[in-house]
Amino acid sequence: MKKIFAFVAAALVAFSFASCNNEPESKDFKIVVSEIGEQTATVTVTPTDVEATYYWDVFQADALKGMADDSICATLKTLMDYYIAMYAMAGQELTYADFLNKGESHYNYESLTPGTDYVVLAVKMDAEANFSGKIAKKSFRTKDLELKGEVDLGVLTGGGFEDYRELDGSYIAYATDLATYDVTFNIYDDDFSGNYTEADLESEYSFIWTKDMNVEDPLLIVKAELKNVPGNGNNANLSGWAIATDGIKYKFSFDYPTVEAAAAPKKAAAKKALKPALKVVRK
């Protein structure tokens, strides 16, 4: 399966922590965001109490819409619990303390999404995952991506399909030749007919890779205009263009089946999940 759902959807979190309140401002932290680029930013967090431990990270602003601070705190703990469980499966022990900082902390982000609103969150937290005080927040927006060129990939082969519509209302359509290209789109729709933009895609699982990129990992999609047309039988055609994080507009067309080749286990839905811009554990 291409898609691995990594985080618990914030909408499903049912926890509540009285120690986190709903006041939007905090005097506990000074947050500075500098050197903002298309995919980069430097974040510096300075606590007022240099002896206090705290948690901080960067999240896309859309993921925080409608969430009160107590819900954010609950979701952050759920996120940490997830990482602890995943690392344990890999034979590495983590505790809540591994997520904490003390004194001034900074990080240079290098893989942000261009033209996107982000929020830095910082809140006091002890080694038992008890939050206290107010959540400090700092908003910033990455620069829009500059279009650097255009590549027509033509008609691609190797179409495939993964169905997640019963989980989160999406499916994956892709065309791949492992030695040459991998063009993958995770589309939120219940059928195979329609026009889509980047707003209809799950960004974490929509990407492009070609051998000419001279990079090992695929590039995420920043903008897209796609057209889905059902064919005769269990197949469809996806065509259009997508701009990846390298600033290149890629044009393409490919047919893909609309049924999975074989049954596969499903994972927890990812839509509306609260995801950090960086793996939470920095140590």
Domain ranges of the chain: 12-141, 149-257
* Neighbouring C-beta atoms of residue 256, cutoff 10 Å: 23
* Neighbouring C-beta atoms of residue 55, cutoff 10 Å: 23
Residue 276 DSSP code:
B
* Neighbouring C-beta atoms of residue 175, cutoff 10 Å: 22
Q: Return the higher-pLDDT residue of 25 and 279.
A: 25
Exposure b/e, 132-160, CB count within 10 A at least 16 = b: bbbbbbbebebeebeeeeebebeebebbb
Give Cα separations from 20 to 43, 73, 133, 135 (angstroms).
Answer: 23, 7, 6, 7
* Neighbouring C-beta atoms of residue 267, cutoff 10 Å: 14
Closest CA to 107 of 30, 32, 173: 32
What dihedral do alpha carbons 101, 276, 140, 206 form, nearest 10°? 160
In the block, tokens 């939007």 appear at 24
**What average pLDDT does this structure show over 172-185?**
94
Give Cα separations from 231 to 117, 184, 187, 278 (angstroms).
Answer: 38, 19, 18, 40
**What average pLDDT does this structure show over 218-228?**
94
Q: Return the higher-pLDDT residue of 39 and 22.
A: 39
> Residue 9 and residue 274: Cα distance in Å, rounded?
7
**What average pLDDT does this structure show over 190-197?**
96
Percent of the chain having pLDDT more than 90?
62
Q: Return the higher-pLDDT residue of 253 and 282.
A: 253
φ, ψ dihedrals at 205, nearest 5°: -120, 25
Give Cα separations from 147 to 209, 210, 239 (angstroms).
Answer: 17, 18, 20
Confidence band (pLDDT; 50, 70, 90) for 108?
very high
Question: What average pLDDT does the structure give for the chain?
Answer: 84
Select, from the ranges 14-18, 75-79, 240-244, the one with the highest average predicted confidence (pLDDT): 240-244
Q: pLDDT at residue 165 above 50?
A: yes
Residue 39 pLDDT:
86
**What average pLDDT does this structure show over 128-148?**
93
Residue 25 pLDDT:
53
Q: Would you call 249 helix, strand, or coil by DSSP?
A: strand
Q: Would you call 79 helix, strand, or coil by DSSP?
A: helix
Contacting residues for 74 by C-beta, under 8 A, at least 6 apart: 13, 15, 16, 17, 20
Q: pLDDT at residue 282 above 60?
A: no
**pLDDT tens digits, residue range 24-81?**
456 899 999 999 999 899 999 999 999 999 999 999 898 888 888 899 999 999 989 9
> Residue 219 and residue 208: Cα distance in Å, rounded?
5
Residue 245 DSSP code:
T
**What average pLDDT does this structure show over 145-172?**
94
Q: Candidates 3.40.1710.10, 2.60.40.10, 3.90.1150.10, 2.30.30.90; correct CATH number of 12-141?
A: 2.60.40.10
In the block, tokens 């930013």 appear at 41
Confidence band (pLDDT; 50, 70, 90) for 270?
very low
Q: Return the higher-pLDDT residue of 26 and 277.
A: 26
